[in-house]
């Protein structure tokens, strides 16, 4: 089954404790991206990747890092999480010109 | 750059009534247009898309949207809604060329009352 898999689904952490949210896709898509969803703001792009070792900032990259060492994986790293990063995060992948496929989301709470 | 405005944050309707969720966009380049649906506690699913061709596009569950270039709109409609349509709906645009970034509207929460 074609899918984008994110883990974990729920995560509660404390300020400053490094965390990683994993994302994997099995569709051989070149493009992968991370979005955060906040009430009243819709989804905003954090980072995206056009292929292995090619990443770039989206609209709200501050406080986040990504890496793309393999085509299928695109982890999101928060080196020092803060409460304003409490949000619902989505990973997505797509082929050029095709719609995005989204994962089921990771709900992160930073206290 | 693109931007998307969904004019209603919440839309309550009665079951079997018609509904329209409004979406306007702005862009300096040609765009693709999408509607995504998010059911409670789930991720986003593609509902329908406009890439080219006929300006009226339909989904398998009875929704349709019409691309109106002159009004820069892509409103979503359904003639008769069901309880199962309760969800949040997001309009999104993406430039035809260049980066694959989707720009989303703020979302419209559709609530169906029996």
Say how far apart CA A15 and CA B81 lie, in whole Å: 44
pLDDT in tens, A39-87: 889 899 999 999 999 999 999 999 999 999 999 999 999 999 999 999 9
Residue A63 in contact with partner chain B when CB distance is under 8 A: no
Residue among B6, B46, B90 whose CB faces A99 most closely: B46
Q: Determine if the peptide bond prior to A8 is cis (ω within 30°).
A: yes
Condensed to tens digits (0 to 9), the pLDDT of residues B14-30 reads: 999 999 999 999 998 88
Give the minimum alpha-carbon distance from A75 to chain B in angstroms, rounded to a whole number. Answer: 18
Is A75 in contact with A20 (CB distance < 8 Å)?
Answer: yes
Of A31, A94, A102, the CB nearest to B43: A102
* CB within 8 Å: B42 and A104: yes
CB contact under 8 A, A48 and B34: no
C-alpha A85, offset from chain centre: 12
Rounded Cα gap, residues A74 and A5, in angstroms = 10
């Amino acid at each position: 089954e074609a899918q984008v898999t994110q883990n974990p689904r729920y995560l509660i952490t404390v300020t400053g404790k490094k965390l990683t949210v994993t994302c994997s896709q099995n569709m051989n898509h070149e493009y992968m991206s991370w979005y955060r969803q906040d009430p009243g703001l819709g989804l905003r792009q954090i980072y995206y990747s056009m292929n292995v070792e090619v990443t770039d900032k989206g609209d709200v990259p501050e406080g986040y890092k990504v890496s793309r060492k393999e085509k299928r994986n695109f982890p999101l790293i928060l080196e020092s999480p803060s409460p304003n990063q409490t949000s619902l995060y989505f990973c997505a992948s797509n082929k050029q010109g095709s719609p995005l496929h989204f994962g089921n989301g990771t709900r992160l709470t930073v206290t | 750059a693109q931007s998307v405005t969904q004019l209603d944050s919440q839309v309550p309707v009665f079951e079997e009534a018609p509904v329209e969720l409004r979406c306007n966009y702005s862009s300096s380049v040609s765009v693709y247009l999408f509607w995504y649906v998010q059911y409670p506690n789930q991720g986003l699913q593609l509902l329908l898309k406009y890439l080219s061709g006929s300006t009226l596009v339909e989904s398998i569950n009875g929704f349709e949207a019409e691309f109106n270039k002159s009004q820069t709109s892509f409103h979503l409609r359904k003639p008769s809604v069901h309880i199962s349509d309760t969800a949040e709906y997001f309009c999104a645009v993406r430039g035809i060329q260049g980066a694959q970034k989707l720009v989303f509207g703020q979302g419209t929460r559709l609530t169906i009352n029996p």
